Amino acid sequence: MSITDANSAGFVHGGIVMKLCDEAAGIAAVKHSRRRVVTAAIDRMTFLDPVQVGQLLSFKATVNAVWQTSLEVGVRVEAENPRTGDVRHTSTAYLTMVVLDDEGRPAQAPPLLAESPDEKRRMREAELRRQNRLAEREQIRAARSAERPG
Ligand SMILES: CC(C)(COP(=O)(O)OP(=O)(O)OC[C@H]1O[C@@H](n2cnc3c(N)ncnc32)[C@H](O)[C@@H]1OP(=O)(O)O)[C@@H](O)C(=O)NCCC(=O)NCCS
């Protein structure tokens, strides 16, 4: 990370980290589907520890779960001090990507096989996040229609 990535406090700007998470997630989704993808949502982004200018950031993106045309990618961000080799986990992000056909319409995503205990846990947790997201959307819709007069 360079000085041009810094915010006014002198740390790396969160928006820069988010952009790089989006790029890593996009690459993972394209590699899984071998098609174009778009970001439908950044569902969660945590900043656990500030990143300093001069540190080396690594982005590890994993496809956690696949539904019809959408999939969830989890991104783990680590910051390394290149002089000491000290590595810290600084962010985690979860993004929903949608696979597109050649006309730009949502297209069926290839299925995902979860084999290891970690892969199965990631799939379960992604399913939980999706259910919570859909339930929240429904609750907001219901609350808004209850607020409407008549
Ligand atoms: C994402 C997008 C393709 C969805 O199109 P749409 O017409 O709403 O398509 P659908 O209703 O058929 O939904 C397609 C999938 O997207 C998912 N989706 C749509 N909006 C979503 C949202 N806000 N959050 C999470 N998932 C979403 C749906 O759940 C569905 O998933 P499924 O097929 O696995 O069940 C469209 O909204 C779009 O192009 N958005 C702009 C994307 C963009 O510009 N991104 C930034 C640059 S890459």
Please name the residue whose Cα sits nearest to atom 46 of ligand 1. 39
Residue 144 binned pLDDT confidence (cut-offs 50, 70, 90): very high
Containing 97, the helix (H) or strand (E) segment is strand 87-100
Mutation test of ligand 1: which of 18, 37, 98, 101 has the most ligand atoms closer than 8 Å to its C-beta? 98
Q: What is the pTM of this model?
A: 0.94
Ligand 1 geometric centre to CA of 106 (Å) = 8
| Residue 129, token pair as written in the block | 């996040």
- Would the pLDDT of 148 be above 90? no
The rounded distance, in Å, linking the Cα atoms of 60 and 91 is 11
Look at phi and psi of residue 6 and say left if phi exceeds 0, alpha if psi is from -120 to 50, else beta.
beta
Q: Is 7 in the pocket of ligand 1 (CB under 6 A)?
A: no
Residues 27-57 have pLDDT tens digits of 999 999 999 999 999 999 999 999 999 999 9
Question: Minimal CA–CA distance to 28: which of 64, 2, 56?
Answer: 64
